[in-house]
Amino acid sequence: MSRMHRRLALGLLTAASALTLLSGCSKQDGSTPNSSEKPKADGAKEPSAPKSQVRVGFSQIGAESDWRKANTESIQAEAKKRGIDLQFVDAQQKQENQIKALRSFIVQDVDVIAFSPVVETGWEPVLKEIKDAGIPVVLTDRAVDVSDPDLFVTFIGADFVEEDAGRGSGWRRRPGGNAKIAELQGTPGSAPAIDRKKGFEEIIAGYPGLQIIKSQTGEFTRAKGREVMESFLKSPEGKDITALFSHNDDMALGAIQAIEEAGLKPGVDIKIVSIDGVHAAFEAMVAGKLNCTVECNPLLGPQLFDAVEAIVAGKPVEKRIVTKEGVFTQETAAEDIKTRQY
């Protein structure tokens, strides 16, 4: 697709005009529209000029957690399935690497740029460059903090505040009326760390018996979760900790090791609630070491490429696409684990 065509598609997208809706580019099943197939009178397709492959540049944060690995796998597998030319770049947790990758996608003149931003702020200049180049942007998993909402077409991902504030009912049930809580936060400045903390604080504000006595980043990794939990337990307040809220499963799994090394029983002496719902968290629940995990679905590939294909076809796309998720506890973990996909 030439830049001119892409600008035209974007214009149509913004206007969501009747012409766009009648353009007939879309298939019922949501698969890539194929310009080489002209409908015959009887509805069968006949080939004409070769179809130009949709090209997407995707900048991934890294591979810090099982969640992220499942997310990468979902995106790569879905692109392959749909025959999309995916330029995938791993930023290794660095915003500067993501910005470099985004600029390289402009040079490559891809049809759509998608990325999962490691932190919320600092994206405005590069997003303006992308907009000037006429390339639509899709955000997946994490949001950006920008003043101009037209710098991206859509944001697909979980509601991180709601993960705690609403569906985090698991949290409210687990520690009971009173708890001295240790909190393991995600990557500083990242949307899930900011929003999960916010949602959690909103919850406990309504429960005077719930009190955060330690809080620090474990950077979403198992190794750091273990290290920080160990330091919490060795601190003067360590012996008072009765519950742990971890912004993701990997840090909770690391903390479980630290709790065991301190001679305590995770899930019993210290109740644990975390977020993600990865397979290893279900194993920990079955073993009685984790009390609850609130799902954050990483399988965003199908929704991402549905959006990409709609954009390329000039069809309107929702500004916010929220993924559906659940809350899982120890009680049903042995059954739930049988059907987990990641």
Contact status: 200 vs ligand AHR (CB under 6 A): no
Helix (H, G, I), strand (E, B) or coil at 163: helix
Nearer to ligand AHR, 168 or 192 (CB): 192
Binding-residue total with ligand AHR (CB under 6 A) = 13
170 scored as a contact of ligand AHR (CB under 6 A): no
Nearer to ligand AHR, 32 or 116 (CB): 116
Residues 68, 60: contact at Cβ < 8 Å?
A: yes
Q: Please select the residue that binds ligand AHR; options are 65, 72, 74, 293, rule is CB under 6 A.
A: 65
Question: C-alpha angle with apex 160: 216 to 322, nearest 5 degrees?
Answer: 160
Q: CB 23 → ligand AHR: shortest distance, Å? A: 35
Structure tokens at 252: 């909770």
Q: Does 120 bind ligand AHR (CB under 6 A)?
A: no
- Interatomic CA distance for residues 175 and 225, integer angstroms: 20
Instruction: Identify which of residues 127 and 281 has a Cβ nearer to ligand AHR in the complex.
Output: 281
Contact track, ligand AHR, 284-303, x by CB under 6 A: ------------x-------
Contact indicator for 91, 118 with CB cutoff of 8 Å: yes
Q: Which stretch binds ligand AHR (CB under 6 A): 63-71, 304-312, 318-326, 334-342?
A: 63-71
- Which of 33, 59, 60, 64 touches ligand AHR (CB under 6 A)? 64
Q: Does 123 bind ligand AHR (CB under 6 A)?
A: no
Q: Which of 323, 283, 314 minimizes the C-alpha distance to 7?
A: 314
Mapped onto helix, strand or coil, the DSSP state of residue 247 is: coil
Contact set for ligand AHR, span 230-289 (CB under 6 A): 248, 250, 275-276
Q: Are 116 and 70 in contact (CB under 8 A)?
A: no
Cα 47–chain centre separation: 38
Choose which of 33, 192, 218, 277 interacts with ligand AHR (CB under 6 A).
192
**Helix runs in the chain, H state only:** 3-15, 18-21, 66-82, 95-108, 124-132, 160-165, 169-173, 191-205, 222-234, 249-261, 279-286, 301-312, 330-336
Minimum Å gap between C-beta 221 and ligand AHR is 8
As measured in angstroms, the least distance from the Cβ of 296 to ligand AHR is 5
Q: Is 164 in the site for ligand AHR (CB under 6 A)?
A: no
Q: How far apart are CA 103 and CA 124, in angstroms?
A: 13
**Interface with ligand AHR, residue 58, by CB under 6 A:** no
Give the contacts of 206 (CB within 8 A, at least 6 positions apart): none
User: Is 156 a residue that touches ligand AHR (CB under 6 A)?
Assistant: no
For ligand AHR, give the closer residue by CB, 278 or 313: 278
Stretch that binds ligand AHR, among 5-13, 24-32, 65-73, 105-113 (CB under 6 A): 65-73
User: Nearest CA to 180 among 230, 241, 137, 112?
Assistant: 241
Closer residue to ligand AHR (CB): 183 or 250: 250
* 336 binds ligand AHR, rule: CB under 6 A: no
Query: Quick one: which of 220, 232, 282, 328 contacts ligand AHR (CB under 6 A)?
Result: 220
Q: How far apart are CA 335 and CA 160, in angstroms?
A: 26
CA dist 268 and 265 (Å) reads 5
3-state secondary structure of 227: helix
Q: Is 105 in the site for ligand AHR (CB under 6 A)?
A: no
Query: Is residue 68 involved in binding ligand AHR (CB under 6 A)?
Result: yes
Residues at the contact surface with ligand AHR, assessed by CB under 6 A: 64-65, 67-68, 141-142, 192, 220, 248, 250, 275-276, 296
